[in-house]
């Protein structure tokens, strides 16, 4: 897996080093002194996150990421103001908002299912590299890998919080895997029009499946 296809933003996960004590120690114990003490680390990590770039595989998440960064900056500004004041309840509220925003940004980056992420890694290579360069041999390899990834996806267990959506997710996966089979069949030939249509169909089906997790 290359950096381009790895759904990872190191600065975001490094931020957890300060989020953890804030949320699991300072906040539940109403320890305002600790909240103020950790502000410099929060400021440093937030700045690193704001400067971080998303890997290529997350390019379709850029708008959500940018919104998260803007929200993070706004919260840090409120954190600084609250830490300079004497209203400890207001300070605790800001820490709660910081934790919530951090968690939402992690969800943007972290794959919901490892099986769907494995599929996406191959799709990314296909859609952004092999198909634009019309590398037919590579496209055929991609299609075969995606068929295997689909088999793993269909047989995978859903994350607990999405069990209530099982029927609609199964339908989305079925649509995705049907489109993947069409791509494999199309790529066996050399009609670029047919292959291109199959690639776009797979890409749209993947996006449809991913939206079910939002």
Question: Does an H or E element contain 4, and which?
Answer: none
How many beta carbons lie within 10 A of that of residue 92, not counting itself? 18
pLDDT value, residue 6 = 67
**How confident is the model over 126-169, as pLDDT tens digits?**
998 899 999 999 999 999 999 999 999 998 999 888 999 999 99
CATH code, residues 3-109: 1.20.120
At 101, give phi and psi (nearest 5°): -65, -40
CA distances (Å), origin 116, targets 110, 131, 145, 149, 157: 11, 20, 13, 8, 11
The whole-number pLDDT of residue 32 equals 97
Across all residues in the chain, what is the average pLDDT? 92
Residue 207's alpha-carbon distances to 24, 37, 128, 173, 212, in angstroms, are 35, 43, 15, 11, 9
Percent of the chain with pLDDT strictly greater than 90: 77
Q: What is the pLDDT of residues 4-40, one digit of tens each?
A: 666 678 999 999 999 999 998 999 999 999 999 999 9
Find out whether 56 and 128 touch, Cβ atoms under 8 Å.
Answer: yes
The pTM of the full predicted model, rounded to 2 decimals, is 0.69
* C-alpha angle 206-147-9 in degrees, rounded to nearest 5: 50
**Distance in angstroms (rounded) separating the CA atoms of residues 67 and 9:** 16
Q: Tell me: the pLDDT tens digits for 172-190? A: 999 999 999 999 999 999 9
Residue 8's pLDDT is what?
A: 74
Q: Grade residue 1 by pLDDT with cuts at 50, 70 and 90.
A: very low
Q: Residue ranges of the domains in the chain? A: 3-109, 114-211
d(CA 168, CA 109): 23
Question: Which CATH architecture describes the domain 114-211?
Answer: Up-down Bundle (1.20)
The predicted structure's pLDDT at residue 3: 56
């Amino acid at each position: 897996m290359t950096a381009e296809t790895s759904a990872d933003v190191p600065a975001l996960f490094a931020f957890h080093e300060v989020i953890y004590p804030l949320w699991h120690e300072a906040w539940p114990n109403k320890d305002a002194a600790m909240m103020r003490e950790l502000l410099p680390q929060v400021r440093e990590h937030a700045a690193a996150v704001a400067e971080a770039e998303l890997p290529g595989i997350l390019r379709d998440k850029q708008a959500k990421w940018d919104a998260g960064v803007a929200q993070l900056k706004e919260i840090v500004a409120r954190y600084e103001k609250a830490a300079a004041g004497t209203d400890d309840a207001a300070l605790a509220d800001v820490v709660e908002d910081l934790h919530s925003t951090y968690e939402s940004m992690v969800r943007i980056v972290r794959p919901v299912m490892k099986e769907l992420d494995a599929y996406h890694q191959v799709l990314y290579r296909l859609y952004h590299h092999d198909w634009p360069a019309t590398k037919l041999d590579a496209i055929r390899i991609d299609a075969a890998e995606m068929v295997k990834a689909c088999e793993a996806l269909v047989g995978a267990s859903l994350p607990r919080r999405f069990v209530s959506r099982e029927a609609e997710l199964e339908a989305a996966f079925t649509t995705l895997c049907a489109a993947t089979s069409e791509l494999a069949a199309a790529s066996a030939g050399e009609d670029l029009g047919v292959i291109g249509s199959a690639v776009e169909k797979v890409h749209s089906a993947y996006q449809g499946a991913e939206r079910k997790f939002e």
